[in-house]
Amino acid sequence: MTAPPGLRAGAAIDLDAVLRVLASPTRRRILARLATESHYPLQLSRELGVSQQAIMKHMRVLEEAGVVRGVEEPSDQGGPPRTAFELTTALSLSIDVGPALFSTRLDVADAAARTRRPERAADPSAPREALAMRLSEVSKEVSEVDREILRLDAKRAELIARKNRFLHEAHGLIERMSDKYLSRRILYWITETDEFSVPRLAEAFNVRERVAQEAYRELLRAHLVPEYKIRRLR
């Protein structure tokens, strides 16, 4: 995804914006607090041991990245409304780096998923015993989900290591197959992409489609393109 810096809440979120947000330990601590419930800047200042002015600077960064928003709430002491901040986005970020591997993936939940209420949300007016029972059920569900995530993470780590081994071998083969830098770069890309086409090649290398077509044909004439990739284009 590509989007200009300085995004506002509700705008598309891109990888660079997320990385800028997560680069600060203080902002990560703020997000951890907001993941539980909305907070006032003064609350965050006291809990994190950071000045309120610094908290507001971090909040502006978070708002510009599109991950939090300020909501006016009435004062419980009859004063003017106060602004509390809440998370507006659910996202998952993965970065894989290895001797022959570099990939990033950012998944952002759609707007409906961010605001959808739980189907079995407990009635807040129910007796405390009923709320505690429901909390116990939810806690159990969370634990089961965590165990499943750990299982999937272990499987993913195994697959990433396997992919890295294959790519390391592929890159060694490509280095021996061509002495042209651009040709090697294109072959690296073709090896890793599963949706190969000349238009995508032109986009990936920021060249005209005619130039991409000629580069691809040159690789074909030299019999350097993997056979199964050629079949996919037919």
How far is the C-alpha of 153 from the C-alpha of 26, rounded, in Å? Answer: 27
204 lies in some domain: yes
pLDDT digits (tens, 9 = 90+) for 7-41: 333 446 889 999 999 999 999 999 999 999 999 99
The SS3 assignment for 65 reads helix
Residue where a domain stops, chosen among 116, 132, 160: 116
How far is the C-alpha of 88 from the C-alpha of 59, rounded, in Å? Answer: 13
Rounded to the nearest 10 degrees, the angle between the axes of helix 15-22 and helix 52-65 is: 160
Token representation of residue 27: 């902002």
pLDDT digits (tens, 9 = 90+) for 115-156: 445 555 556 677 888 889 999 999 999 999 999 999 999 999
Given a cut of 50, whether residue 4 has pLDDT beyond it is no
206 lies in some domain: yes
Given a cut of 90, whether residue 188 has pLDDT beyond it is yes
Residue where a domain stops, chosen among 116, 141, 164: 116
- Same domain, yes or no, for 38 and 109? yes
Q: How far is CA 134 from the centre of its chain?
A: 31
157 lies in some domain: no
Domain count along the chain: 2
Domain that holds residue 50: 1-116
Q: How far is CA 39 from the centre of its chain?
A: 24
Residue 2's pLDDT is 34
Residue 97's pLDDT is 92
Residue 232's pLDDT is 54
* Residue 151 burial class via C-beta count within 10 angstroms: exposed 0-12, middle 13-18, buried 19 and up: exposed
102 lies in some domain: yes
Residue 194's pLDDT is 80
Give 39's DSSP letter: B
